[in-house]
Chain A
Amino acid sequence: MPDEILKMQNITKVYPNGIVANKGVNFSVYAGEIHALVGENGAGKTTLMKILFGLEHPEEGAIYLKGEKIIISSPQVAIRHKIGMVHQHFMLVPSLTVAENIVLGMEPSRRGFIDIEKAIETTEKLSEKYNLKVDARAKIADLPVGQRQKVEILKALLRGAEILILDEPTAVLTPQETTELFSELVHLKNKGHTIIFISHKLKEIKEISDRVTIMRHGKNMGVYRTQDVTEEEISRLMVGRDVVLKVQKQKNKPGDAVLHVENLSYTDDYGKNVLKNISFSVRRGEILGIAGVEGNGQRELVEIVTGLRACQEGKIYISGKPVNNLSIKQIRELGTSHIPEDRMTYGVAGPASIGENLISDRFYKKEFNTGLFLNLKKLNELTARLAKEYTVKCSTPKLAVKMLSGGNIQKVVVAREFSSNPKLLIADQPTRGIDVGATEFIHKKLIELRDGGTAILLVSADLNEVMEISDSILVMYGGEVVAYFPDASRITEEELGLYMLGVKRQSAEEIGGAFYAKKHAV
C-alpha cells in the first residue's frame, strides 16, 4: 500500500460570481509520485490547486496532510507545510535578477544590507542540487520562459517544498524545453519529492505521470494508474465523448496568392537579425503552416505582417497592395484577420464584456451606427448570434471576458476574427493552452474558412497541429526559411524535426518554391 501523503476531501468551491468551480472533489496523492491532474479548461483544476496552496478557501471540505487535518489559510501556511506551487502565470519580478527573485522574502543579509553573493551562492547550490540550470546573475526580463519556469521551481524548492504543484507547466514551453522539464521532474521525483502536474496534453501525461486524476465540470471523474488507461479513455472522461484526434478534411484547391512576403529582414533592438530574407506566399483556400521551434523569428514575422511591428526591410503585399507601412486598421480593412499569440494582451480587452470584445473590430462601421449612437439592437443581435455559433460558454454576453476560461476566451477571439469574412487569416498559436473540445472546434472552423476560400497562415508550436491542419508547410530556423513542403501530408514528424532543429536544410530552389508568381487573388 503506497503512502498517501495528501488528501483533499469533499472540496466544494463557489466563486463570488456564483460559478461552482469544484463540487465535492476528492483528490489524493501518494508520496513520491508524479500525479497528473487533467481536465478541459474550466474544469476546476487550478481552483483545486489554489485551495491547496491557500490562495482560495473552499466552502466545504477538508485537507489532510500525512493523515493530519490541516487548514491552509494562506500561501505562507502552505509553504510552512512544505507545499509549493508554480503558477500558470509566473510570479516573478522582471527587473530583478534570478538570485534576487529566488531569495525574495527571505533575503540573506549582512549588517542590514543584502548579501548578494550569498544569494547567488544559494541559488547556484540549489540549481546544482536539483539539476535545474539557471544563471543566478541574469535578469529575469532577459530570460526565455523555459528559464523563468526553472526559477519558479527553484523558488518553491528553496522554501522547502516537498509537494510541488505545477499548473500547466508545458503550455508555454517549446518541445525541447518540455523534454528538459520532464527529465528535471523525474530527477525531483527520485529525490523524494511529490509532484502534481496539471496538463491537458494526453501524450505528456502518459509520458511523465504515475497516476492521473481526471476532472470534468468541477467533479472528479476518476483516478487511474497511468499505465492502465489509454489516451482515448482519458479524453473520453475529460470531455465526455471521443475526441477525434485526427482532423477530417478534404484536399484543398489553392487559388491565387493573397499574401506575398518578399525578402523580409528584421533586426531587433539588440542588433540580432531575427528575420533573414524571408519570402513566401499564402494562396486562396490554402493553409500554410509555419513549423519551427519557438523563438526562431515566427513572432516577429507575424507582428510585422499584421502591423504590430514596424517593417524594416522587404515588401509585403496583401491582395496585391503593398502594406509595409499601413496601420493595423488599414491592414484589417483589406480583409485581414489575426488570432494573436497572446490573447490577453492583443486578443481581448479583459474587463470589457464578451459582446464588446466581439464587435471591437467593427463597431465603428456605418451599419452598426445610427448617427451619433451605436445601434445596440443590431450589435446585441450579432453578439448573441456569434456567442451561440461559436459555443462561448457564458450566461450572458454582458459578462467580462476575463471571467471566462482560456478556451472560451479564445473562442471569443476566433468568433470575431472568423466572422468578418477574411481574405487572409493569420492564426498564431490558435489553440495554445486551451482544452481539447475548444481545440477541435477551432480546427474545424479553420478548415471551413479554408474551404470558403480564405488564405490562412498558421503559426504553431504544436507539431501535431501544424501537420494535421496545414496543406503546405514552411519551416523556420534561426530567422530563415529552411524548408518548404508543398504537400503537408507527405512529410513525417521525424523529417520535419531535422529541419526544425537545423540539422537539415533544403536547397535555395526548393525553398524558393514557397514564393508563388505574382498573380493576385482579388
Chain B
Amino acid sequence: MDNLFNIIFSTNFGYAVLRVTTPILFAALAALISDRAGVINISLEGTMLAAALTGVIFSAYTGSAWVGLLFAVIAGIFMSSILAYFSLYLKTDIILGGIALNLMASGGTVFVLYLVAHDKGISASLASKVLPQIELPLISKIPVIGPVLSNHNVMTYFSLIAVIVVYYFLYRTPLGLRIRAVGENPDAADSVGISVRQIQFVSLIASGILAGFGGAYMSMGYVSWFSRDMTAGRGFIALAAEAMGMATPIGTFLASLLFGFADALSNSLQSLRIPAEFVQMIPYITTIIGLAIYASRRTQRAGAKTVRKEVKA
C-alpha cells in the first residue's frame, strides 16, 4: 500500500497523468464536436491509428516531425470525410460506417506498415521523428508544479489549448452556435436556412483534425514509433469521457483527466508485483465504472419526475 501512495504522490506520476491524458483528450474533444452536431463519430480509434502511421511515414521521409504532423492531420481529415460522405450523402448508418472505418484502419495500417517498413508489428526500421518537448520558462523552476507541468511534448500543451479553443468555438462563434442548433433540433436549423448536412460535414472534419492531432502524438510524442493497434482503445475511452463530461468542453477535459489518471496508474503499477494483465485492465474498468456511475446518476435525476418504481401492491 505504501508503495502505491509513493507512486501516486510523486511528481513523476503527475507528469505521467498529463502525458497519457493527451491522446484521450484530443479524441474526446473530437467526439465532442461531432456529437454536438448530432453525428456521433465512433471511428476515432481508427482515425487516430491512421494518423499515427501517416505521421511516422511522412516524418521519416521528409525528416521533419512537423511535416509528419501536417500529414497526420490530413489523414484525420481524410478518414472523417469518408465517414461524412458515407453517412451524410449516401445515408449509411453512421455507427456501421464508424465500425467499418475502425476495422479498415486496424488492418490497413498493418498492410501499409509492411509495405514501407517490411514489418507487420512496428515501424522501428523507419527513421521517424519526434515532436519537440518544451520547457516552460519560469514554471519549470517552481518545485512540484514545475516537474509536473514543464517539459511535456508540444502536443500536450496543444491539447490543453484545444480545450479552450473548442470552448470558444462552440459557444462564441456563429459556426459553433449553428453546430449546437443542428445537434439539438435540426428542423429548427433547417427552417432558418441552415444546411444541416453541411454543418454536420464541417463538424466531422473538425473532429478528424482533432483525432489527427491525437494520432500524431501517439507515434511522434508518446512513443517514437508506430506499432499495430497502438491506440489500444483510446478512441473508445474518449467517447466515454465525452459522455461523462456531459458533452461540455470542461466536463470532457475533467473526465479525460480521470481516464488519464487510470491509464497512468496502470503504467506505474506494472513496476509493482501485481500481475500485469490485471493492472492493464485498470483503464478499461475505470471506463465501465465511470459510465455506470454517470448513467445511473443521470437516470436518477431524470427519474425523479418521471416514472416511479414498481412496488408490491
Taking beta carbons and an 8 Å cutoff, which residues of A are in contact with B?
A: 74-76, 79, 85, 87, 89-96, 100-101, 104-107, 109, 112-114, 155, 159, 268-269, 307-311, 321, 325-330
* Interfacial chain A residues near B189, Cβ < 8 Å: 93, 104-105
> Which residues of chain A are within 8 angstroms of B309 by Cβ–Cβ distance?
325, 327
Could you say which residues of chain A place their CB within 8 Å of the CB of B178? 104-105
CB neighbours (8 Å) of B138 from chain A are none
Inter-chain CA distance A418–B63, complex, in Å, is: 78
Using Cβ atoms and an 8 Å threshold, which residues of chain A touch B191?
75, 85, 87, 91
Q: Contacts A75-B193, A307-B307, A310-B304 known; list 11 others, CB within 8 Å.
A: A87-B191, A93-B181, A96-B180, A96-B181, A104-B178, A104-B181, A114-B172, A309-B306, A310-B308, A325-B308, A327-B311
B190 touches A93 (CB 8 A): no
B310's closest neighbor in chain A, by CB? Answer: A327
- Among B159-195, those with CB < 8 Å from A are 168, 172-174, 177-178, 180-181, 184-185, 187-194
Can you list 30 residue pairs at the A/B interface with Cβ under 8 Å?
A75-B190, A75-B191, A85-B191, A89-B187, A90-B188, A91-B190, A91-B192, A93-B180, A93-B184, A93-B188, A96-B184, A104-B188, A105-B178, A105-B189, A105-B193, A107-B174, A112-B173, A113-B168, A114-B172, A114-B173, A155-B192, A307-B308, A309-B306, A310-B304, A310-B308, A325-B309, A325-B311, A326-B313, A327-B307, A327-B311
**B311–A326 CB distance below 8 A:** yes
Is B91 an interface residue when CB atoms closer than 8 A count as contact? no
**Interface SS majority for chain A:** loop
With A93-B184, A113-B173, A326-B313 already in contact, the answer to whether A104 and B305 are too (CB < 8 A) is no
B309 to chain A: closest CB distance in Å?
Answer: 7
- A311 vs B112: C-alpha distance in the bound complex, in angstroms? 63
Instruction: Give every chain B residue within 8 A of A159 (Cβ-Cβ).
Output: 192
Minimum CB distance partner of A105 in chain B: B192
A92 to chain B, nearest CB (A): 6
Determine which of B177, B180, B308 lies in contact with A327 in the assembled complex, contact meaning CB atoms within 8 Å: B308
The answer to whether A308 and B306 touch across the interface, beta carbons within 8 angstroms, is yes
Please, how many angstroms separate the alpha-carbon atoms of A91 and B182 in the complex? 11
B177→A100 contact, CB < 8 A: yes
* A151–B304 CA distance with the chains assembled, in angstroms: 30
In whole angstroms, what is the CA distance A515 to B298 when docked? 39
A92 touching B308, Cβ below 8 Å: no
CA distance A95 to B194 in the complex (A): 18
Residues in chain A near residue B184, CB distance under 8 A: 93-96
Contact assessment for B311 and A96 in the assembled complex, using a CB-CB cutoff below 8 Å:
no
B6 CB, nearest partner CB in chain A, Å: 46
Q: How far is the CB of A338 from chain B (nearest CB, A)?
A: 14
Give the number of chain B interface residues (Cβ < 8 Å).
Answer: 27
Q: Shortest Cβ distance from B263 into chain A, in angstroms?
A: 32
B185 touches A109 (CB 8 A): no
Could you tell me if A114 and B177 are in contact, using CB atoms closer than 8 angstroms? yes
Q: State whether A310 touches B305 (Cβ < 8 A).
A: yes
Cβ-closest chain B residue relative to A268: B305
Distance of A64 Cα from B218 Cα, bound (Å): 62
Interface centre among B187, B191, B313 (most CB of A within 10 A): B191
Which 9 A-B residue pairs are closest in the complex by CB-CB distance? A105-B192, A107-B174, A91-B191, A91-B188, A76-B193, A327-B310, A310-B308, A93-B181, A113-B172
Q: Contact between B174 and A92 (Cβ–Cβ < 8 Å)?
A: no
- Give B172's nearest chain A residue, CB to CB: A113
Question: Which residues of B sit under 8 angstroms from A79, Cβ to Cβ?
Answer: 193
CA distance A87 to B174 in the complex (A): 24
Which residues from B are CB-within-8-Å of A105? 178, 189, 192-194
Distance between B32 CB and nearest chain A CB, rounded to angstroms: 15
Instruction: Provide the bound-state CA to CA distance between A309 and B306, in Å.
Output: 5
Contact of B185 among A92, A106, A155, A268 (CB under 8 A): A92
Question: Known: A93-B184, A95-B184, A104-B181. Is A309-B305 also a contact (CB below 8 A)?
Answer: yes
Distance in angstroms from A350 CB to nearest chain B CB is 15
Give which listed residue, A74, A90, A109, A329, contacts B174 with CB less than 8 A: A109
The docked-state distance in angstroms from the alpha carbon of A311 to that of B188 is 35
A93-B308 contact in complex given A105-B192, A107-B174, C-beta closer than 8 Å: no
Question: Roughly how many angstroms separate A109 CA and B187 CA in the complex, as a whole number?
Answer: 23
Min CB distance B22 to A, Å, is: 27
Q: Which residues of A contact B313 (CB under 8 A)?
A: 321, 326, 330
B188 A269 Cβ-Cβ under 8 A: no
- By CB atoms of chain A within 10 A, which of B185, B188, B311, B313 has the most? B188
B202 to chain A, nearest CB (A): 15
Q: Mark B35-68, 1 if CB is under 8 A from A, else 0.
A: 0000000000000000000000000000000000
Q: Report B-chain residues with C-beta under 8 Å of the C-beta of A326.
A: 311, 313
Known contacts A95-B180, A310-B308, A327-B310: does B194 contact A104 (CB below 8 Å)? yes
Q: How far apart sit A330 and B310, CA to CA, in the bound complex (Å)?
A: 8
A93 to B181, CA, bound (A): 6
> Chain A: which residue is nearest B168 at the CB level?
A113
Closest B residue to A329 by beta carbon equals B310
Evaluate contact between A308 and B311: CB separation under 8 angstroms. Answer: no
A244 to B189, CA, bound (A): 43
A286 and B193 alpha carbons, distance in the complex (Å): 52
B160 CB to nearest A CB, Å: 21
A95 to B311 Cα, complex, angstroms = 35
State the CA gap A100–B177 with chains docked (Å): 8
A100 neighbours in B (Cβ, 8 Å): 177
Mask, B140-174, CB within 8 Å of A = 1, is 00000000000000000000000000001000111
